[in-house]
Chains A and B, each alone.
Chain A
Amino acid sequence: MLRSIRFCFSFIHVSRRLESTPATSSVAAWPPIAQAEFCVVSRRNDSLGPRARWTLFASLCAVSFGLALGFAALGAWMVLPYSAAGMGLLYGAWRWFERHTGDWERVTVTGDRVLVERESGDARTRREFNRCWTRLEVEDGAPVRASRLALRSEGESIRFGDALPVHELNRIARELRRVLARR
Chain B
Amino acid sequence: MSSIPHHQGPGHAIDDAHAHDEHAHHPGGIMRWITTTNHKDIGTLYLWFSFIMFIAGGCLALTIRTELFHPGLQIVDPEFFNSLTTLHGLIMIFGAIMPAAVGFANWQVPLMIGAPDMAFARMNNWSFWLLPFAAVLLFASFFVPGGAAAGGWTLYAPLSVQAGMGMDLTIFAIHIMGASSIMGSINIITTILNLRAPGMTMMKMPLFVWTWLITAYLLIAVMPVLAGAVTMLLTDRHFGTSFFNAAGGGDPVMFQHIFWFFGHPEVYIMILPSFGIVSTILPAFSRKPLFGYASMVYATSSIAILSFIVWAHHMFTVGMPAAGQLFFMYATMLIAVPTGVKVFNWVTTMWKGSMTFETPMLFAIGFIFLFTMGGFTGLVLAITPVDIQLQDTYYVVAHFHYVLVAGSLFAFFGGVYYWLPKWSGRMYNEKLGEWHFWLTMIFFNVTFFPMHFLGLAGMPRRVPDYATQFTDWNMVATIGAYGFGLSQLLFFYIVLSCIRSGPPAPAKPWEGADTLEWTLPSPLPYHTFETPPAIK
Interface residues of A (CB under 8 A from B): 18-20, 44-48, 52-53, 56, 60, 63-64, 67-68, 71, 74-76, 78-83, 85-86, 89-90, 93-94, 96-97, 100-101, 103, 105, 118, 120-121, 123, 125, 127, 139, 143-146, 148, 150, 156-159, 161-167, 169
CB–CB B7/A118 < 8 A: yes
CB–CB A145/B530 < 8 A: yes
CB–CB A159/B521 < 8 A: no
Interface residues of B in 207-231 (CB under 8 A from A): 217, 220-225, 227-229, 231
Q: Which residue of B lies closest to A14 (CB)?
A: B198
For residue B12, CB closer than 8 A to chain A, the reply is yes
Contact of A144 among B8, B119, B521 (CB under 8 A): B521
CB–CB A158/B227 < 8 A: no
CB–CB B243/A125 < 8 A: no
Q: How far is the CB of A123 from chain B (nearest CB, A)?
A: 6
CB–CB B183/A82 < 8 A: no
Given the known interface contacts A75-B243, A157-B19, the answer about A47 and B200 at a Cβ–Cβ threshold of 8 Å is yes
Would you give 9 A-B contacts (Cβ < 8 Å), ordered by A? A45-B198, A64-B221, A71-B261, A83-B228, A90-B186, A97-B120, A144-B525, A157-B20, A166-B533
Given the known interface contacts A64-B220, A86-B182, A94-B190, the answer about A47 and B123 at a Cβ–Cβ threshold of 8 Å is no
Q: Provide the bound-state CA to CA distance between A56 and B214, in Å.
A: 12
CB–CB A83/B258 < 8 A: no
Which secondary structure dominates chain A's binding surface?
A: mixed
Q: Which of B1, B4, B198, B251 has the most CB of A within 10 A?
A: B198
CB–CB A68/B221 < 8 A: no
CB–CB B193/A123 < 8 A: no
CB–CB B20/A85 < 8 A: no
CB–CB A76/B254 < 8 A: yes
Given the known interface contacts A67-B221, A150-B19, the answer about A165 and B534 at a Cβ–Cβ threshold of 8 Å is yes
For residue B431, CB closer than 8 A to chain A, the reply is no
For residue B196, CB closer than 8 A to chain A, the reply is yes
Q: Provide the bound-state CA to CA distance between A90 and B190, in Å.
A: 9
For residue B74, CB closer than 8 A to chain A, the reply is no
For residue B3, CB closer than 8 A to chain A, the reply is yes
Q: Provide the bound-state CA to CA distance between A47 and B195, in Å.
A: 6
Q: Provide the bound-state CA to CA distance between A159 and B7, in Å.
A: 11
Contact of A47 among B6, B196, B227 (CB under 8 A): B196
In the bound complex, residues from chain A placing their C-beta under 8 Å from that of B528 are: 145
For residue B531, CB closer than 8 A to chain A, the reply is yes
Not counting A89-B183, A96-B120, a sample of 10 additional A-B residue pairs whose C-beta atoms are within 8 angstroms of each other reads: A20-B201, A71-B225, A79-B225, A82-B227, A93-B119, A93-B190, A94-B190, A100-B9, A145-B529, A167-B534
Given the known interface contacts A79-B229, A86-B182, A97-B10, the answer about A123 and B5 at a Cβ–Cβ threshold of 8 Å is yes
Q: Provide the bound-state CA to CA distance between A166 and B519, in Å.
A: 13
In the bound complex, residues from chain A placing their C-beta under 8 Å from that of B9 are: 44, 100, 103, 120, 163
Chain B, residues 499-536, CB within 8 Å of chain A (1/0): the string is 00000000000000000000001000101111111100
For residue B16, CB closer than 8 A to chain A, the reply is yes
CB–CB A45/B224 < 8 A: no
Given the known interface contacts A85-B224, A100-B8, the answer about A78 and B243 at a Cβ–Cβ threshold of 8 Å is yes
CB–CB A48/B531 < 8 A: no
Q: How far is the CB of B235 from chain A (nearest CB, A)?
A: 7
Q: Provide the bound-state CA to CA distance between A120 and B235, in Å.
A: 46
For residue B61, CB closer than 8 A to chain A, the reply is no
For residue B199, CB closer than 8 A to chain A, the reply is yes
In the bound complex, residues from chain A placing their C-beta under 8 Å from that of B527 are: 145
For residue B232, CB closer than 8 A to chain A, the reply is yes
CB–CB B235/A146 < 8 A: no
Q: Provide the bound-state CA to CA distance between A145 and B526, in Å.
A: 10
For residue B295, CB closer than 8 A to chain A, the reply is no
In the bound complex, residues from chain B placing their C-beta under 8 Å from that of A162 are: 12, 14, 530-531
CB–CB B12/A93 < 8 A: no
For residue B356, CB closer than 8 A to chain A, the reply is no
Q: Which residue of B lies closest to A99 (CB)?
A: B8
In the bound complex, residues from chain A placing their C-beta under 8 Å from that of B7 are: 103, 105, 118, 120
For residue B197, CB closer than 8 A to chain A, the reply is yes
CB–CB A127/B198 < 8 A: no
Interface residues of B in 383-440 (CB under 8 A from A): none
For residue B162, CB closer than 8 A to chain A, the reply is no
CB–CB A158/B254 < 8 A: no
CB–CB B224/A64 < 8 A: yes
Contact of A127 among B4, B19, B227, B534 (CB under 8 A): B4
By Cβ-Cβ distance, the 8 closest A-B pairs, closest first, are A79-B228, A82-B224, A47-B196, A18-B198, A159-B19, A146-B531, A82-B227, A83-B224
Q: How far is the CB of B493 from chain A (nearest CB, A)?
A: 31
In the bound complex, residues from chain B placing their C-beta under 8 Å from that of A156 are: 1
For residue B194, CB closer than 8 A to chain A, the reply is yes
Q: How far is the CB of A140 from chain B (nearest CB, A)?
A: 12
CB–CB B193/A47 < 8 A: yes
Q: Which of A44, A78, A94, A121 has the most CB of B within 10 A?
A: A78
CB–CB B232/A139 < 8 A: no
CB–CB A158/B4 < 8 A: yes
Q: Which residue of A lies closest to B22 (CB)?
A: A159
Given the known interface contacts A100-B8, A165-B532, the answer about A67 and B225 at a Cβ–Cβ threshold of 8 Å is yes
Q: How far is the CB of A96 from chain B (nearest CB, A)?
A: 8
Q: Provide the bound-state CA to CA distance between A68 and B8, in Å.
A: 35
Contact of B232 among A19, A45, A56, A76 (CB under 8 A): A76
In the bound complex, residues from chain B placing their C-beta under 8 Å from that of A150 are: 19-20
